[in-house]
Amino acid sequence: MKSVIAALFVAIFGVAQASSALAPVSISPERAGHTATRLNSGLVLVTGGVNENATLSSALLYDPVLGTFTPTGNMRTARANHTATLLNDGRVLIAGGDLGNGLAAKTAELYDPVTGQFALISKKMSVSRSKHTANLLTDGKVLLVGGKHPDIYDPATQTFKSTANSPTCRSSHAAVNLNDGTVLITGGYVGQLATVSAWIYEPVSRTFTLLSEKMKIPRANHQTTLLLDGRVLVTGGFTGTSPQNEVDIYDPSTQLFTAAQPMLDHRSNHQALLLPSGSVLVIGGTTLETGFLAVNEVWDPTSGNWTEHDTMSEGRTGPTATMLDSGQILVAGGITGNATLQSAEVIDPLTESFNSLGNMQVARNQHTDTLLPDGRILLAAGSTDAVWLSSAEVFDPSSNTFGLVGNLAQARKSHTATLLQNNQVLITGGKTATADTKISELFDPTTNQFSSTGSLIGPRSLHSATLLTSGKVLVVGGRKGAKPLATTELYDPVSGLFTSAGSLNVQRKRHRATIFSDGQVLVEGGASMSNGQAVDSGTPTGETYDPVTGVWTLTGEMHIGRTEHDATLLLDGTVLVTGGLSTVNTSNAYQPSTRTFSQTAGVLQPRQRHVAILLSPAWGSLAGQVLVIGGASTGNSVYGGLQRALDSVEIYNPATGQMSLFGTMTSARQNQTATLLQDGRILIAGGVDSPAVSGTAELVVP
């Protein structure tokens, strides 16, 4: 089966395998018509439901780390087809549902995750209801729609209050929160007939408005999914007695429904979840042709097309599907055939296998990568175990091959390589077998040879080198021997000479440097103490260089010190700072307009010595997001000080400010290079998979 991300991970010598559900686990007792709610702790609360023997008061907690279900306190009332809403204080509102005797519940109760207990709310809803919807509003109240008229639940007073001007009595409809705080309510059964109508609830005025525009077909037991751009994808459902494959897109700016590409399968009683990529994964459901669906499918917002995604262990209609903190999806219960399912399984929609590109000419670590004007990539120097390298090779994306080019005059690692405006590559500094060096060299891509140029004023390694708009190169900090440097230099490609560019306010090595559109350069973090003084988790400081005045100015500080991190310029001009030698996972975002850092979502797995790359337009809906690739864990050091290399890749979405799991490389790597090619592919090459230096490379394909 094709996966939504399969195209992203197809390497040159193989095809990515489709993602699939992990091994099922037992959920006891079996159930359908239940709820599943992710708590603030990351655990998932499963409540109630019905099976062949009874309507259930049973409640379970799913632990995604252990992959197990354990009982928590029972609900005070057995119920199915109810709602469960996570409130702002972390408690869960359980409302309505079928009682198992042909009647619907008028009661509601609260689950407290601190005590693990349920408590009945003394005030009842204004009407009994089941197969209704419950939406948490921006003011913390809950809108319940279904039955004769809606209610608003107020957590502060634990009371329900009915609303006026409400939609006609309905059930099995769908309701989704829009970005402006209003709620879109679509379809459902009115009496025994599915309807095409849609309503908007406005929480400030507490009024409902019937939209003049209708869906393209009547729907009940369908799904509505809020997209990243604020539109709503409406999928499937029953029309009359048949499941449908038709899809509508609702645009809040025009209040119009537009027909979209139909799904591959007719589905109702399914689930639909927005993935971090902006795609929508549709899970399970009932279909006219084959009954109960095990095959899931995914919608691509860029192409508008549907593709098969994965196959679950069992066909399921009416399951729950809950996005976990890891980006995986817990699918629990439901019905297949005439049986209520006792199983649950985890779908991993974002993880695919990378396939090897093959070997480089030379295994190398702490080398440099430079995208050349002709599209090739220069991989220069580095080391393999204790041997410093003078060799260099180029990767040719047209043939996906590596070929050796001329050697450097000086074997080195932890150096810099900067593409100049004259298309040559400037190599500066680095560690040699005996000391840090000040020798610099130029690589000419037309001859594939290195030649000498002026030397640095002083030797350095672990520094940064940034091409300025003037064509000069700003070389910043680094180390000489054990000591971090505050000195900076400018290289002039016309004269081939280096001159002083002033002094940093804070000495630093292993920092990062970013140039903005106005020509200013930000450097942040880095180790500021000499080796052996103490464990140096980096400085939180940042400073900017003004190429007009030649002055270095301190900025606001990050909330933690960082070294061995990475920094990525986003499309909106902010800089995302990720990872580093720290036990704190949160990231920082630098705002150049205010010269301050703010906190944003951190990496899911602590990492340092990684590479973070902004995705190009070739990545479609993922363009502008950031891949965080490999690196080393910050756990106990192994093999003479090397950290444990990571094979995981994460993605950061600036629109949501969240990280999610993206994929897994064929090899764990730290100190690797990752280079964005002109066609959008990313070449990942070399590095260390403790304790070995890697000679392999792989491609990620948009």
Contacts of 59 (CB under 8 A, 6+ apart): 45, 46, 47, 48, 71, 72, 73, 74, 75, 111, 118
Q: Let me know how long the chain is.
A: 702
Distance CA 615, CA 663 (A): 15
- In this predicted structure, what is the pLDDT of residue 169? 85
Does the pLDDT at position 352 exceed 50? no
* pLDDT tens, position by position, 161-185: 998 777 878 999 999 999 999 999 9
Average pLDDT over residues 328-340: 77
| Neighbour tally for 209: CB within 10 Å | 15
Tell me the percentage of the chain whose pLDDT exceeds 70.
Answer: 90
- In this predicted structure, what is the pLDDT of residue 455? 97
| SS3 at position 563 | coil
Phi, psi angle pair for 314, to nearest 5°: -145, 150
Distance CA 325, CA 681 (A): 28
More confident residue, 51 or 347: 51
124 lies in some domain = yes
Average pLDDT over residues 400-424: 94
| Residues forming beta bridges with residue 50, ordered by sequence position | 32, 55
Q: How confident is the model at residue 533 (pLDDT cuts 50, 70, 90)?
A: low
546 lies in some domain = no
Q: What is the DSSP string of 129-143?
A: -SS-EEEE-TTS-EE
| Neighbour tally for 394: CB within 10 Å | 21
399 lies in some domain = no
Q: Which amino acid is at 564?
A: E
Which conformational region is residue 579 in: left (phi greater than 0), alpha (psi within -120 to 50 degrees), or beta?
left
Q: Which of 1-15, 337-351, 470-484 has the lowest mean pLDDT?
A: 1-15
* pLDDT tens, position by position, 245-285: 999 999 999 999 999 999 999 999 999 999 877 889 999 99
More confident residue, 457 or 3: 457
Average pLDDT over residues 655-682: 84
| Residues forming beta bridges with residue 346, ordered by sequence position | 330
Distance CA 100, CA 179 (A): 37
Distance CA 87, CA 359 (A): 53
Tell me the percentage of the chain whose pLDDT exceeds 90.
Answer: 61
Does the pLDDT at position 687 exceed 60? yes
532 lies in some domain = no
- In this predicted structure, what is the pLDDT of residue 1? 25
Average pLDDT over residues 680-688: 84
Angle, vertex CA 697, rays to CA 696 and CA 702, nearest 5: 160
117 lies in some domain = yes
Distance CA 266, CA 612 (A): 40
* pLDDT tens, position by position, 102-159: 999 999 999 999 999 999 999 999 999 999 999 999 999 999 999 888 999 999 999 9
84 lies in some domain = yes
Distance CA 222, CA 220 (A): 5
> What tokens were used for 526?
């880095």
- In this predicted structure, what is the pLDDT of residue 249? 97
Average pLDDT over residues 680-690: 81
Does the pLDDT at position 290 exceed 80? no
Does the pLDDT at position 6 exceed 50? no
Tell me which residue of 458, 457, 465 sits closest to 497, measured CA to CA.
Answer: 457
- In this predicted structure, what is the pLDDT of residue 681? 83
Average pLDDT over residues 90-102: 96
Structural domain that includes position 49: 26-138
522 lies in some domain = no
Average pLDDT over residues 436-460: 97
* pLDDT tens, position by position, 357-374: 667 888 888 889 999 999
Distance CA 130, CA 77 (A): 14
More confident residue, 241 or 110: 110
* pLDDT tens, position by position, 9-34: 222 222 222 333 444 667 888 888 99
- In this predicted structure, what is the pLDDT of residue 353? 38
What's the total number of domains in the chain?
Answer: 1
More confident residue, 604 or 9: 604
* CATH at residue 100: 2.120.10.80
Does the pLDDT at position 470 exceed 70? yes
CA atoms within 13 A on the CB side of 643: 21
511 lies in some domain = no
> What tokens were used for 11?
């390497």
Quote the mean pLDDT of the chain.
87
Distance CA 198, CA 202 (A): 13
Average pLDDT over residues 292-307: 89
